[in-house]
Structures are given as structure tokens and as C-alpha cells.
A and B are shown apart, each in its own frame.
Chain A
Amino acid sequence: MGGYILKRLLSAVPVLLGITVIVFLIMAMIPGDPATAILGSYATPENVERLNRQLGLDRPLWQQYFIWLGNLLQGDFGRSFALNRPVLDEILDRFSATLILAGTAFVLCSLLGIAAGVVSAARQYGLADKAITFVVILGISVPSFFLGMMMILLFAVQLRWLPASGMYSIWGGGDLHDLIRHLTMPALALAVVATGVIARLSRGAMLEVLRQDFIRTARAKGVHERSVIWRHALRAAMVGIIPVLGIQAGFVLSGAVYIEMVFQWPGVGRMLVDAILKRDILLVQGGVVFIAACYVGFNILVDVAQAWLDPRIKT
């Protein structure tokens, strides 16, 4: 197991290096430069050139890349032009917010999705299955940002039950209760699509397992039906479900960008959108590399979990 983990970790190195190259090249290719963004409407070509020189953006591209990469390897992500603040501080500040949002949504969609899938499969073509399928298809079809806006209209503007945006109350809030009130709508809006997808695929995986011989054996031996479904069948089906969860975790993380915009959640997705608009190159590069590293790390976790569940993978 240790060797397998090490192998997976090593294989992540070229992936991450590739990501740094791609992110760097994309940022170099998109039109518009940070100097213009900083100087605003008053940017004359002459001042733009001078500021680019000050920012070190007049050097050859490969030099800029290696300087940036060298600093990155030492944990120095540089300083954001637009926020005038170390990039890593900004990312870490924001990432915790994203993690709370995406993590909650992920837990919600995993639990709800798997539960719905299992119930659906266990009662195939029954009323529960049909009802769940209907709700699930509806959930998959509604874009999460649209759902978010509708929720704001209903629960914030009309009913005034929940706050429309932000992560904590501006004044006097800041405790867990306050966080949950702010988290409820964005986490639900973010979880809906992934819940649907997980439910569909869990249902399929469960149906396949339920047809297998060991289930029949278990039933024949008189194992309680609840135990057959939730212990024997689900554990076997998890081998098929876990990779789906891994992919959905990625979707939830990337979906957080829209949701953070709609609900003004102070997360890393919104930070990236703002940074791209302001041509805040170092912040975008650092943010993307950071998210990519998390993504890669998460995939390794998923693989390891799968290997642990299914001994055949261990090689």
C-alpha cells in the first residue's frame, strides 16, 4: 500500500509541472496586461511600458517562467498587483471559504445521492424509484446558478428567512449558527446537480451488484434484507461509486465559481474571476496551480481509497 501511494504521488509531479507551464502560457497569451488594468483609463502606451518594466514583465517569457517557478518551489507565490498582498495569503484566506462551501456541498450530495440511488435500486420501478428519478432528472437539468438566483428571490427577498449573500453577518454575527444560515442556500444550490448524478450512477452500480450471486447467497442464508442492501451490496457497489464521487468533487469545486459569484461567497472561485478581469497574473497563476494541486491530491486520495476497497487494484 505504501509503495502504491508513493507511486501515485510521484506520478503527480509531471502533471503539476505541466499545469504550471500551461497556466503560465495561457496567462501570457490572453490579451490585456496588468499595467493597463492598474493604470485604468489613463494608461498611455508609454506608462504601460514603464510599469511593465517595473513589474518585470518585459523579460523574455522563459525567464519569467523560471523565475516564477523557482519562487513557487520555495513557497513564494509572489505578490498580487491588484490587491497589493502576497498571493499565498490571499489564496489561503479564500480557500478555507471555498472548502467550507464545496465540502458541505460534497458531503450533502454524496449522502443524499448515494441514499437516493440505493433506495431507487432497492425498489426498482416502484413508486419511490419513480419519484426519486423524477426529482433527480429535474435536479440535473436545472443550472445551479439559476437555482441559486431563484432561491435568493424566494428565501431572501420574499420570505427574508436567509441572507442573500456573504459568508457571515456584517455586524454581530460570526458564529457557527450565522455561518450555517449563510451556507444553507449556496451549499444546496451547489449540491443539487451532483446529487442527481451520484444518485443515477449509484442506482446503476447497486442494480448490478444486487444481481450477483453473493447477494443471492446472503439472502438465502437469511441475512436481514436491510443488512443485505446497506452492508453487503453497498460496500461492493462503492467500488463503482467512489470514482464517481471523485469526479463529482471536481465538479463541485469548479461549480463553486458560479455559486460564489451568485451568493458573493468570499471563496477562491470569485477571487479567480476578479483576478482574471484585473489581469492579476500572479494571483491567477498561483490560484490555478493551488487548485490543481488540490485536485490532483484529491484524485490520489480517491485512488488510494479505491485500492483499499478493492484489493485487485493493488499492484
Chain B
Amino acid sequence: MAFSALTRRSFGVLTAALLATSALIAPATAQTPPGVLVVGQIAEPQSLDPHAVTAVNDFRILMNVYEGLVRYASGTLEVEPGLAESWTISEDGTVYTFSLRDGVQFHDGSALDAEAVVFNFERMLNEDHPYHNTGPFPLSFFFSAISGVEALDARTVRFTLNEPYAPFLSNLAYPTGLIVSPAAVMQHGADFGRNPSGTGPFRFAEWQSNERVVVTRNDDYWGDNAALEAVVFRPITDANTRVAEMLSGGIDVMVEVPPVALPQFRGGSYQVHEQAGPHVWFLILNALEGPFADVRVRQAANYAINREAIVRDVLEGTATVAAGPTPPAFAWAYNNDLEPYPYDPDRARALIAEAGAEGAQLTFYVTEGGSGMLDPVAMGTAIQADLAAVGFDVQIETYEWNTFLGQVNPGLQGKADMAQMAWMTNDPDTLPFLALRTAAWPDQGGFNSGYYSNPEVDALLEAARVATDQDERARLYREMQVIVQQDAPWVFVANWMQNAVTSDRVSSFSLEPSFFLLLDDVSKN
């Protein structure tokens, strides 16, 4: 019968196809070559212009290509010399003079000199600068205290500030302070972010949209050459795919491992790295109106929410319970005497009764995800349940991240009683100065969306900012933390521990408290 022939033939075709497939897959998945580190990133970088970006994801690449005048010493958040060998600060704390390292070249061959440094800051800060339109520069306000930058000679740069500004040095160590090649900016203009040139241990090689960014070893580096020949950063947005790629050997390093996936990497041929960083996840409480205008209700919220359970069950131990507004990663400025609010629903109920706020209805802004927000929906529902247990009726409103910021940043007034938020900063000044001062209420351009106001805190923060002595600054911040914890403008929930997984072929890998990824010492066989 004709059809049996047909069927026989289709079986033949099928068998041939199978054979072809097995020939295709016969060589087991090629391993990544030695000396080349493949990093699974969480997203495509926005730009490789360090002045134009804000995401830690982009910083992880940038810190290997560029350098700043100063940098964070390995394992800490304290500054040490970078491209500047040394510096002096005037008595009144307003004039910083840097001596540049000799013989440093950008990857494009141009020399690093004082004029190049001047170019960098003028491009960001001076709206009339011919290359200012290569921006926008969202974090340029880090340097808004600068009133002038001058090149005194080829190796000396002088910054004049309009007032003493203690976080200046640590802002210079932040990616926004990294020094880019003026020649490359002039050559590429608005495309500089795709043709980056810095002075770092790795130089840019190629950027294939959504596939990879490749950097190769800079053999003309002024310091010790990197051990790796090249690093490939692969954007793998989907966390499950990132895990699958790590398990199948397609990447050597994976950052931001989802908490639920961590156990399968513990032990065996993988290594899990964890590092606390300057991150705090909190709830902004609306202190202007509604139940949280009463400090007792704000404290009650801090007692009512079981942060231990959130950190353990929702975040699988990838964070620690936050005690106050300052993350412990700022070791020198952190108040070790601060104890987190204990989980005490009875105490919460008593405080709520005292304030007469029983059964209050609360509107709670939750985001679907966002920079540093960890697992916001799951955390939000856990918080809702804890608050319900002490008698609040919490309505969650969920927004996508950009919409969420558009709702929260202009202030919660008339809209919500509480909102989630997380910040990653580089200096103990940044977050409280921008989000806890009276002068930082949203109508004045700050991020104090809950309208917290305490003149004592204002005074401490203003004083800390202009104090040039670090011990004095530390004392002021510690005092501030005690008052803020007592006033409870936020529910202090968690400090995230950043994590990464490496395969057993990778050595000398470590995570930095800055959350940057520094790969110049890493090697791979």
C-alpha cells in the first residue's frame, strides 16, 4: 500500500533528522575558555559613560574600564589614592588640590592630565560646556558643591567648593566621579557611551546589543596588569535563565542570584559570595497626615512587622534586619548600640490604642520591582499581613517601578500612608540628607516623601556635612540615628547582602561593600 511506503519514508526522514541532531550535539557544550571570565549580568547596560548612568548593573562594568581620582580601598568604603597620588584639603574644607599620577594614558592613547580632569567636571556641571549635551548627567548633583575646577599645571588640579562638603571625596570614588577621555568624548559625541575610553585595567572591546559587552586586558595599565585576558558581560534579564546558564556552564560568574536559587549553589563545584553593602530597604510613613502623623503609630508599625521572618522566609537570609536609617556597611559612621525594634505585636496594639488609631485604613504603595527593591510584592504582602494582625486595614496599590517613582518621589500627601523604598548610597550623608531633612520635602526638590521633620536631625545633618574631621562626622551621624530610630519616620526593614556565585574555575573573586565588581585580581583556569 502506498501509505505504508509513505510512513516508512517519513520514518527514514525522522531518523536522518535525529542523526543530524545528535551530530550537532555530540561535542558537549563548549566550555568558556580559560583566561576569559563570562559574567551573567541582570540587564543590558544603559550606557558605558559613567557620568550618564545610575544603575549598579552598569557600575559593575564601568569600574573595570575607568578610574577616579580616588577609589574605595578594597573591602571598605574608605577612600584611597586612585588616579590622584595625593591631595591636600584647605583648613576651611573648601579647597581640594590633587596631584595626578604620572604617565597614565587613556585607552585611546591620549594622556591623563589636569586639563582632562577639568574637562570631565565641566562637561557635567557647566551647561554652556560644548559637550554638556552629551548627557544627561542624572547624578551630577553629587558635585553641585563645586564652584570651580582649574588645572594649576599638567599634574595638579584644584577644586573649589562653595561650602565645606564632607562627602566630596567619597563622591569622587563613585562612578559619577570616574574620569573619561576627553579626546574620546570629542570624537564620538553622543555616541561616547558606546565607545568608552578610560584608564582602567580593562579596555573596551565590543558591545553587541543585548548579547555581550567585552572588555580586554589593558597591557599598558599603569599598575599591575589584570590576570584575566578578557571579561564578557552577558545581559541575562530572566533570573531563571541566569540560573540555568550558571548550571549549564555558560557563565562563570552570576550576580544577584535569586534567594530561592541560592541553596542549589551551596557546596559542590560552586562558590557563593555574600557581602553586606550600603543598602537599606524601608517603608516611608506619611508623617504629615493620617494615622502615621502620630509618632506612636509609626513606632507601632515598627513593632508590628516581623522583620526577622521577612528576612528569613521571604529573602532566604540574603539580608539582615535593619536597625535604623544608616546601613552598618558604613562601619565608621554606624551606631553599634542601635538595637532593631523587636517584633512585639502586643506593644504595637497598645501604642495604637493609646493613639486611638485602631482599625485605621491604610493605603500602601508597593512596586513590582526596581533597583535594590529585592522581592517587593512578597515583602509587601507579608507586611500587610503583619499590620492586619494588629488591627490595620491595609490596601495595597501596586505600580510598575517607573510609575511608582513618579507617585512616591513627589510626596505621599493626599495619596498614601506608606510606600516601599530602597536606597544604595556611597556615603552616610546621602540618604538622610536627601530623604530625612525638613528642607528635603518633595516641594523643595528632595526625597523626603513622608514629610518627616525634626530640627535636631536637620542640625545634625547640616553639621555633619561641613565637618572636615571624620570622627566628628561619625559622632553626629550616630546621634542622628538614635533620634531617627526613636521618631520612626520609616519602618526600617532590611539591609541587603549582595550575592554572587562563581564556578570552581574562578579564583580570587570577592564582592566589595560598594557593590562594585572589581575584576583585576580575578583569574580563571
Contacts and interface: CB of A to CB of B under 8 A. Distances in A.
**A, B: real partners:** yes
Interface of A: 31-33, 36-48, 51, 54, 79, 82-85, 90, 93-94, 115, 119, 122-123, 128, 149, 152-153, 155-157, 160-173, 177, 180-181, 184, 224-226, 261-264, 266, 270-271, 274, 277-279
Given A122-B3, A161-B28, A44 B249 contact: no
Given A40-B138, A83-B46, A162 B241 contact: no
| Shortest 8 CB-CB contacts between residues of A and residues of B | A32-B402, A40-B54, A32-B403, A161-B25, A225-B2, A156-B248, A266-B210, A31-B403
Contact of B241 (A165, A171, A274): A165
B7 A264 contact: no
Given A32-B403, A180-B24, A128 B409 contact: no
B177 interface: no
Interface string B176-214: 000000000000001101100000000000001111100
Contacts of B209: 83, 85, 90, 93-94, 266, 271
Contacts of A166: 211, 234, 250
B320 to A, nearest CB: 21
B445 A46 contact: yes
B7 A162 contact: no
Interface of B: 1-3, 5-7, 10, 21, 24-25, 28-30, 32-33, 36, 38, 43-44, 46-47, 49, 52, 54-55, 136, 138-139, 141, 190-191, 193-194, 208-212, 232, 234-238, 240-241, 244-245, 247-250, 370-372, 399-403, 405-406, 409-410, 423, 442, 445-447
Given A32-B403, A43-B405, A274-B44, A165 B244 contact: yes
Contacts of A264: 210, 235-238, 241
B208 to A, nearest CB: 8
A64 to B, nearest CB: 19
Contact of A224 (B2, B49, B249): B2
A226 B211 contact: no
A45 B29 contact: no
17 contacts: A31-B400, A38-B136, A43-B138, A84-B194, A85-B191, A123-B3, A155-B25, A156-B29, A164-B248, A165-B250, A166-B211, A166-B234, A170-B212, A181-B24, A266-B210, A274-B237, A278-B46
A262 B244 CA distance: 10
Given A40-B138, A47-B138, A84 B2 contact: no
A32 B245 contact: no
B247 A157 contact: yes
A171 B32 contact: yes
A85 B194 contact: yes
B406 A33 contact: yes
A33 to B, nearest CB: 7
Contacts of A83: 44, 46, 209
A160 B248 contact: yes
A138 to B, nearest CB: 18
Contacts of B141: 42
Given A33-B406, A264-B238, A42 B46 contact: no
A211 B411 CA distance: 72
B211 A266 contact: yes
A39 B54 contact: yes
A236 B3 CA distance: 20
Contacts of B36: 171
Contacts of B193: 84
A52 to B, nearest CB: 11
A45 B410 contact: yes
B211 A168 contact: yes
A160 B247 CA distance: 9
A44 B5 CA distance: 73
Contacts of B238: 261-262, 264
Given A31-B403, A161-B25, A177-B24, A84 B248 contact: no
Contacts of A277: 400-402
Given A156-B244, A166-B250, A84 B190 contact: yes
